[in-house]
Amino acid sequence: MKNKFEKHIVCESEQIILDCLNENIELSKQQLKKLMQNGAVWLENSIGIHRVRRAKKNINRGDQLHIYYDSEIQASHPPPATLIADEGDYSIWDKPCGMYSQGTKWGDHCTIYRWAEQHLLPQRPAFIVHRLDKAANGLIIIAHKKNIAAKFSRLFEKRQIYKKYKAVVEGVMSDIKLPYKIENNLDNKTAISEIIALEINNDEQCTTVCLTIKTGRKHQIRRHLSAMGFPIIGDRMYGAKNTELDLQLSSVELEFICPVRLLQMKYNLAPQ
């Protein structure tokens, strides 16, 4: 058995998914069930294409199964996330470093939304409405209804969700006037960050930086700080010399008007 492969099967008769997979793939039934639970099996039919997790689900003639197997991904285990607040239609989590915000076709069992689906009681579906880098940690919103996810998406689009981050950077950042606005183009889109507080550690030659962001471009804070000459400690991608520690970037505060109760809500990450 190869360590990584993808296979696409056209169902020739009505049967349950597990039987179809078992006839076509050299994995045990237990491995196939795990593959489905880990989000690496997709069903394409008249409705569309989506992940399928239920081994005994019936499929029809002409339906297609898409299997994406990667032994390394299947063997990985997500670090535990911490529930900060369960608000019913949405929840707030402390996503740890090493956990993904979003899955891929190869699986989603190491994502924050899948963790929420499996650990919240009562159980409910989970929808991602914004992202944190895999290497970052901190507060993230998970919606539990599609219409609530859409409402949060609109709040983000209108920049009506206040987000504060804390980063520890290499070097002493002493020559800037606060608040310090960073605005440029990242990937041909405007990117705006603002440094609002500094705590300098001369002994360690590092600075703790508090920032807010107006936009949410990929790796925005990491790229902005690195371009200033102050890469975040642990940031192997953007020039940090100290890479023995995990990325020292945390989402520490969220504030918004709740789209369900229309109340001002504020969540803070406890100091580490």
CATH assignment of the domain containing 191: 3.30.2350.10
Average pLDDT, the chain: 95
Q: What pLDDT, on a 0 to 100 scale, did the predictor assign at position 175?
A: 87
Q: Are residues 168 and 153 in the same domain?
A: no
* Whole-number Å distance between alpha carbons of 7 and 39: 15
- Digit-coded pLDDT (tens) for 197-226: 999 999 999 999 999 999 889 999 999 999
Q: Are residues 134 and 183 in the same domain?
A: no
- Helices then strands, counting H and E runs in the chain, come out as 6, 16
CB of 177 closer than 8 Å to CB of 249: no
Q: Is 268 helix (H, G, I), strand (E, B) or coil?
A: strand
Using pLDDT thresholds of 50, 70 and 90, give the confidence band for residue 1: low
Tokens of 80: 């535990």
In a domain? residue 270? no
The verdict on whether omega for the bond into residue 179 sits within 30 degrees of 0, i.e. cis, is yes
Which residue from 66, 54, 79 is spatially nearest to 8, judged by alpha carbons?
66
Task: Output the pTM of the full model.
Answer: 0.91
Q: What is the CATH number of the domain that holds 138?
A: 3.30.70.580
Q: What pLDDT, on a 0 to 100 scale, did the predictor assign at position 272?
A: 66
Mean pLDDT, residues 102-125 taken together: 96
The residue range of the domain holding 71 is 4-75
* Whole-number Å distance between alpha carbons of 258 and 264: 6
